[in-house]
Amino acid sequence: MDEQRDLVAKSRLINEMSLKNRLIEFFTKWEVLLCIIFASMFIFFTLRTPYFLDWFNLMNATFQFSEKAIMALPMIFIIMCGDIDISIASIIALCAYVVGSAAQGGASIPSMIALSLLVGTLAGLFNGLMITTLNMPAIAVTLATQSIFRGISIGLLGDQARTSFPEGFGFFGQEFIKGTIIPFEFVLYLVLMLLFAFILHKTTYGRRLYAIGNSAEAARFSGVNVKLTRIINFTITGFFCGLTAVLLASRILSVRSNIATGWDLEIITLVVLGGVAITGGRGTVFGVFLGSLLVGYLKFGMGLLKFSGTLMTIVIGSLLISAVLLPRLLDLYKANRKLRLQAQR
Amino acid sequence: MPDHSFASFAKKAFARRESTLILLLFVLLVPISVRSPQFLSMKNISTILNDMAILSIVAIGEFYVILSGGIDLSVGSIIAFSGMACGMVNESYPQVSPALLLLLGIVIGLAMGLVNGILVAYGKIPPIITTLGTVNIYRGMTFLLSKGTWVTAHEMTPAYIALPRTTFLGISILLWIAFFVIALCYYFSRFTRTGREIYAIGGNPTAAKFVGVDENRVRVVVFLVSGALCGLAGALWTARYASAVNEMATGFEMQAVAACVLGGVNFSGGAGGIIGVVLGTLFLGVVTNALPVIYLSVFWQTCVQGLIILLALTLNTLSDQHKNKKLLAQRRG
Amino acid sequence: MPNALLEVHNLTKIFPGIRALDDVHLTLRSGEVHALIGENGAGKSTLVKVLTGVYIPTSGTLTFEGKEVAFRNALDAQASGIVAIHQEASMFPELTVTENIFMGHHLRNPRTKKLDWKAMTEQTRQLLARMQLDIDPDTLVKNLSVAKRHMVEITKALSLDAKLVIMDEPTSALTGREVEDLFRIVRSLKEQGKAILFISHKFDEIFTICDYYTVFRDGQYIGEGKVAESNEDAIINMMIGRSIDQLYPEHQKQKGKEVLRIEKLCQLGAFKDISFTLHEGEVLGLFGLVGAGRSEVVRTIFGIDKSSGGSMHLLGEPFKPKGAKESMRRGIALVPEDRQKQGLVLKMSLTNNISLPVLKQLSFKGMVTSAGKERTYVQCHGNQMEIKSAGYHVDAETLSGGNQQKVVLAKWIGTSPKILILDEPTKGIDVATKAAVHQFVCDMAQKGVAVILISSELPEILGMSDRILVMHEGYQTAILDARKATAESVMKAAIATTVMEDTHA
């Protein structure tokens, strides 16, 4: 084994320059590709409908995807470490229940938010602790907690809805920044996106996430507390579920137990589409930002063209598969070409 | 020499997940039936079994994929597409016999499973990504097929609707089909080479390659089986619920995975059995049905299911840790 | 002399950019144990992969049983009767012994194609009996010890009716007694007329069990001969192409103050009652056969694993690390055994690898904004180790084994450790890097760093250490003064079962 790896290493050393170029090519490729897709989508919709390229419409459309885009940010951390969380929609539902019930009970807006954030954080912490202390796969644990968290909100809420909210609560999910046409939600997303990009790419924490995702064992031998990092990831995600629940409740002003159903897979799709490897260790916040905007505006544009939302799901599903398949096919093509060239020589 | 005494047999039996599940089922059933004797009535039992028949079929399909080290998130969408197709064919061509509709469902499922399998095996896309993509695509195709409408009971033929309910020897056709699937799959995974190769690929892909197991073939096979069973389940679903709607079986993949987890199927692949999966399904069914007996609103069903899965996972891990410790202690005191 | 079972002629295997095998020869005969000898990278594993059909040779011929053969895949080779015993990696832990033996060629009822479990279990029982092994065919392999798993693998080869059995480092995970069991089985295979290709680094094993040997070096055939007509020195000469110089760098043997005191340290299933002290500027050699529990001891000191008993004192203070982070903070560094998995994050750049343990110090309040600071740091320590690479931005996986090891060393000197632990630091690296590592260890000791050096190479342990702690199957059997220790006394302690005490302990 070792011998073979050495051989591979040696042969790589020889091809180092070309390999380096290829790596750079590869890493930039997906984001570049996303940009191209994004631009062509914009041009396509602009040509097809006069309502698309309209600042007010474009801004208004962000209401439809800001919350999911926000959730995709902490999910990057989780997937970066090779984990996955399929319980986020359920945590959002649980927090939304808390928000709605607190509102009905006459709580103030700050205390509603604080409660939601607290519940979300605790739920995320619970996920993280179960996964690391019992040493179980994240997908299995969050599958169980998905039912538990959702189940609590179903059990407590039944077929009821919470619809009475204090005056002014609608601000978070419905209003614009004063004097502009930019929704508060979207600004919040942009700020958070920059924050997450900073953490992932510029801090020791972010560097450790990459190390864990590529080799958890090597990270552990370098003094990285892998367990703690993973727990923190899940806890952060829980916290943002609480935040998203506030935004969502504020936007639709009605909380039912089935709120945010199916969001788990949608959000994971955004992250993977953005170029984060499902096995961990590779990806950028910028890519996920592009992925989120692409999906958001694709939905908006197709809605304008009166395409059913269903065609949308097909497009997104295909995009997701191509996101992984395309780079692989390109690599294969390059390798084949190289072999052919060598044979010719 | 190996010990053949009864004690060693019993010890082995109880080391197995299946026996634990049966034991747990009894532990659960005794207080429930004391509290509510009609719980164990033939009628109620048959209700539970019929409720669980479709899930057991789908869970077995999911089992093969998990056994090979993957996961199939697209089962709900395959059920929906197949169910919708069968419903629409039944509406437009009432002369087509229900049996043919089941076959149609299976063929549709096979085709969708084949796509999953090819993407995973030859496209080398991780199963979770592949099926995360196809869960969307297949659901979208269902909408395209139905153009957003649905098939209702009065648009379907009585023969088709009656299919799962008709009884034979006192047991519904739906259950017979489930039994047949279980028996067939048991045979497949116990007594065929391909069946065993799934265990090999899930347990240790490198080693499997060394003994000549064709990994790509196995990966395609598991998705084919999963697809076929989901297709069959879709055809049955439409008949049993006497309607085909676009949203049918949304999120059903989680139930199927849950049944597998309860049945002791290892998420990293390579371990588990059909009987365990069936018992896991049954366990879910009994718990769900027993909720009213303990005066818990049906609304708590989801939560209780989740707790049970978490408990099962915890027990799995703890028993593994215990075993490892014993093995270590044996090695060096 | 019987006729050749397998003949390899003029075999060459080229990978992009490298000749892994260059015109090599090998002749194996039935009823013979043939040693294939060579350093890491000599091409042994590549040859095994060609013989078992995993690699297709670039040129050359394989003649098996008098016929020229070309294996297209592993199955082809297996069907012809060539079976390799891989290390543990080739088992299915969740399946029974029977199934592990029959996977890939399950017995079937010829008419119904139904698998015949009864027949398989019965055959397994017979095979195990033939090997005099007390294993229940229905046991899951995950419940067997490492040694027994190995025996099951060999049983599997028998079930395939192998004519040639290839054993690649078969004893690396076995304890002394288990090695004896293995040799018994090898002898019985020999009596049954099988040919055995035995790949090992351990000369005592080669001289005990092998009849013939062939030596490879850098992918080339060097020579062959009868083991009985050769000796260790001659073979070593062939392996390395020059006589071994026993020159190891010297460092001042001046004992500083005590930095680490370990008393009756235990870990369930790994080691028991390990006690020693470690002083500034001292090199403590840790010797034992593979599987003696050496790595586990240092992993525990470094906080990767938890101890199950005993105590540690670091600079006089009680020490019970919860993780590597704490040990690092208290001044311990560990260069782990497995470079590729534990030492490096292969898919990260050299810069990111070298700075990983000290990220916090290089950052400003958690921010790695001052890229310049990181670069300076990395260049400083990287240049010190003379790493050969296209730059510090390339991924660690692109380097050769020796250079990778230099990166690992560079990564740890930056933490300015008081105690430096090296676990097999020269395993599988070239001679030049080996010498560099030895010099590095000396320099560190000279600077007053306390060093624990684990090695499986006796000359290295004897040449580098001040004192030598010897372990055997999880127990500490001796602490010897390196000046008085000889190869014999160390080896004796590594094999012995009686605990020897030394006044230096």
Question: Helices A309-344 and A263-273 sit at what angle, rounded to 10 degrees?
Answer: 30
Bigger pLDDT: B235 vs B19:
B235
Top residue of A84, A135, A141, A143 to mutate, by most chain B CBs within 10 Å, is A143
Residue A218: give the domain boundaries: 40-326
Helix (H) / strand (E) element for C377: namely helix C371-385
Token pair for residue A218?
């090597």
Q: Which residues of B touch A148 (CB under 8 A)?
A: 303, 306-307, 310
The 3-state secondary structure of chain B, one letter per residue: CCCCCHHHHHHHHHHCHHHHHHHHHHHHHHHHHHHCHHHHCHHHHHHHHHHHHHHHHHHHHHHHHHHCCCCCCCHHHHHHHHHHHHHHHHHHCCCCCHHHHHHHHHHHHHHHHHHHHHHHHCCCCCHHHHHHHHHHHHHHHHHHHHCCCCECHHHCCHHHHHCCCCEECCEEHHHHHHHHHHHHHHHHHHHCHHHHHHHHHHHCHHHHHHCCCCHHHHHHHHHHHHHHHHHHHHHHHHHHCCCECCCCCCCHHHHHHHHHHHCCCCCCCCCCCHHHHHHHHHHHHHHHHHCHHHCCCHHHHHHHHHHHHHHHHHHHHHHHHHHHHHHHHHHCC
Residue A18 C-alpha, separation from nearest chain C C-alpha, in angstroms? 12
d(CA C267, CA C278): 20
- pLDDT for position B25: 81
Instruction: Name, of B228-242, B259-273, C142-156, the range with top average pLDDT.
Output: B228-242
Q: Is C487 within 8 Å of C462 (Cβ atoms)? A: yes
Is residue A305 helix, strand or coil?
A: coil
- Residue A13 domain-assigned (yes or no): no
Task: Flag if A211 and C345 touch (Cβ within 8 Å).
Answer: yes
Burial annotation C445-471 (CB, 10 A radius, 16+ → b, else e): beeebbbbbbbbebebbbbbbbbbbbb
- pLDDT for position C290: 64
d(CA A77, CA A33): 23
Calculate mean pLDDT across residues B238-248.
84
Task: Flag if C15 and A222 touch (Cβ within 8 Å).
Answer: no
Query: What would the DSSP string read from start to end of C92-118?
Result: -TTSBHHHHHHTTS--B-TTT--B-HH
Q: Regarding beta strands C82-85 and B167-168, do their DSSP bridges make them parallel or antiparallel, or are they unpaired?
A: unpaired
Strand locations in C369-474 (E) = 419-423, 450-454, 467-472
Residue (of A328, A271, A325) closest to A79 by Cα position: A271
Q: Which residues contact B117 (CB under 8 A, 6 or more apart)?
A: B219, B220, B221, B222, B223, B224, B227
d(CA C459, CA A6): 25
Q: Which residues of C touch B213 (CB under 8 A)?
A: 103-104
Q: Regarding beta strands C309-314 and C258-267, do their DSSP bridges make them parallel or antiparallel, or are they unpaired?
A: antiparallel
Average pLDDT score over chain B: 83
Task: Flag if C91 and B204 touch (Cβ within 8 Å).
Answer: yes
Sign of the alpha-carbon dihedral angle for B227, B233, B239, B241:
negative
Task: Flag if C93 and B204 touch (Cβ within 8 Å).
Answer: yes
Task: Flag if B204 and C269 touch (Cβ within 8 Å).
Answer: no
- Residue A283 domain-assigned (yes or no): yes
Task: Flag if B133 and A317 touch (Cβ within 8 Å).
Answer: yes
| pLDDT tens series, chain C, 505 aa | 457 888 888 888 876 556 778 888 888 888 899 998 876 567 787 888 888 888 888 888 888 888 888 888 777 887 888 888 875 567 888 888 888 888 878 888 888 888 888 888 898 888 888 777 788 888 888 888 777 887 888 888 777 778 888 888 777 666 667 778 888 888 888 888 889 999 876 777 888 889 999 988 778 888 888 888 888 777 777 776 644 455 677 776 667 888 899 999 988 878 888 999 999 888 999 988 766 788 889 999 998 888 888 889 988 889 888 888 889 888 899 999 888 888 888 888 888 888 888 888 887 777 776 667 888 888 888 888 887 777 788 888 777 777 888 889 888 888 888 999 999 888 767 667 788 888 888 888 888 889 999 987 777 888 888 899 988 878 888 888 888 887 777 777 776 544 444 434 3
d(CA A263, CA A256): 15
d(CA B57, CA B256): 9
Q: Which residues contact C443 (CB under 8 A, 6 or more apart)?
A: C251
Is residue C448 helix, strand or coil?
A: coil
Is residue C216 helix, strand or coil?
A: strand
- Asked if pLDDT for residue B317 goes beyond 90, the answer is no
- Asked if pLDDT for residue B27 goes beyond 90, the answer is no
Of B206, B332, B333, the CB nearest to C89: B206
* Sheet of strand C82-85: strand arrangement: C67-69, C59-64, C4-15, C18-29, C220-226, C212-217, C33-37, C195-199, C164-168, C82-85
Q: Provide the domain count of chain A.
A: 1
Of C367, C368, C398, the CB nearest to A19: C398
Is residue A269 helix, strand or coil?
A: helix
Of B199, B325, B331, the CB nearest to C92: B199
pLDDT classification of A34: cutoffs 50, 70, 90: confident
For chain B, list the domains and their CATH numbers: 40-290 (1.10.3470)
- pLDDT for position C240: 64
Residue (of C171, C173, C166) closest to C145 by Cα position: C173
- pLDDT for position C500: 43
Percent of chain A with pLDDT over 90: 40
- Residue A72 domain-assigned (yes or no): yes
Among chain A residues, CA nearest to B133:
A317
- pLDDT for position B16: 65
| Residue B314 near chain A (CB below 8 Å) | yes
Task: Flag if C108 and B213 touch (Cβ within 8 Å).
Answer: no
Bigger pLDDT: B271 vs B227:
B227
d(CA B172, CA B178): 10
Hey, which residues does C478 pair with through a beta bridge?
A: C470
pLDDT classification of A267: cutoffs 50, 70, 90: very high
What number is the ipTM of this complex? 0.80
d(CA A316, CA A320): 6
| Residue A312 near chain B (CB below 8 Å) | yes
- Residue A11 domain-assigned (yes or no): no
Q: Which letter does DSSP use for residue C414 in this model?
A: T
- Asked if pLDDT for residue B29 goes beyond 60, the answer is yes
DSSP H stretches of helix in C167-303: 176-191, 203-209, 232-240, 294-301
The 3-state secondary structure of C299-350, one letter per residue: HHHCCCCCCCEEEEEECCEECCCCCHHHHHHCCEEEECCCHHHHHCCCCCEH
| Residue A326 near chain B (CB below 8 Å) | no
Calculate mean pLDDT across residues A283-302.
90
d(CA A77, CA A280): 9
> Would you tell me how many other CB atoms lie within 10 Å of the CB of residue A137?
16
- Asked if pLDDT for residue B189 goes beyond 50, the answer is yes
Tokens 């619970």: give the residue: A126
Of the listed ranges A20-24, A333-337, B287-291, B305-309, the one predicted with least confidence: A20-24
d(CA A262, CA A68): 11
Q: Which residues of A touch C324 (CB under 8 A)?
A: 220-224
| C230 half-sphere exposure, CB direction, 13 A CA radius | 23
- pLDDT for position B329: 67
d(CA A8, CA A270): 35
Ramachandran class of A168: left when φ > 0, alpha when ψ lies in -120 to 50, beta otherwise = left
What backbone torsions phi and psi does residue A127 show, to the nearest 5 degrees?
-55, -50
- Asked if pLDDT for residue A17 goes beyond 50, the answer is no
| Residue B145 near chain A (CB below 8 Å) | no
Distance (Å) of CA B262 to CA B277, B281, B284, B307, B314:
7, 8, 8, 11, 11
Q: Is B284 within 8 Å of B305 (Cβ atoms)? A: yes
d(CA C323, CA C300): 9
Residue C344 Cα to chain centre, angstroms = 17
Q: How many residues does the structure list for chain C?
A: 505
- Asked if pLDDT for residue B190 goes beyond 70, the answer is yes
Of A134, A261, A272, the CB nearest to B314: A134
Q: Is C24 within 8 Å of C219 (Cβ atoms)? A: yes
Average pLDDT score over chain A: 85
Cβ-based interface (< 8 Å): residues of A facing C: 1-17, 19-20, 23, 202-205, 207-208, 210-211, 214-215, 217-225, 281-282, 342
Q: Which residues of B touch A331 (CB under 8 A)?
A: none
CATH of the domain at A147: 1.10.3470
- pLDDT for position B37: 77
Hey, which residues does C96 pair with through a beta bridge?
A: C140
- pLDDT for position B122: 87
Residue (of A146, A133, A31) closest to A85 by Cα position: A146
Calculate mean pLDDT across residues A205-215.
92
How close are the terminal C-alpha atoms of chain B, in Å?
24
What residue type is assigned to position B239 of the chain? A
Q: Which residues of A touch C390 (CB under 8 A)?
A: 16-17, 20
Q: Which residues of B touch C108 (CB under 8 A)?
A: 193
- Quick: pLDDT tens for A63-107: 889 999 999 999 999 999 999 998 999 999 999 999 999 988 888
Query: What would the DSSP string read from start to end of C2-70?
Result: PPEEEEEEEEEEEETTEEEEEEEEEEEETT-EEEEE--TTSSHHHHHHHHTTSS--SEEEEEETTEEE-
- pLDDT for position A242: 95
Q: Which residues contact B261 (CB under 8 A, 6 or more apart)?
A: A140, A143, A144, B267, B280, B309, B312, B313
d(CA A89, CA A120): 11
d(CA C182, CA B249): 56
For chain C, list the domains and their CATH numbers: 4-240 (3.40.50.300), 246-331+417-505 (3.40.50.300), 349-416 (no CATH)
Token pair for residue B306?
């989740």
| Residue B125 near chain A (CB below 8 Å) | yes
Bigger pLDDT: C162 vs B115:
B115
Residue A298 C-alpha, separation from nearest chain B C-alpha, in angstroms? 15
Query: What would the DSSP string read from start to end of A216-267?
Result: HHHHHHTT--HHHHHHHHHHHHHHHHHHHHHHHHHHH--B-TTTTTTHHHHH
Percent of chain A with pLDDT over 70: 87
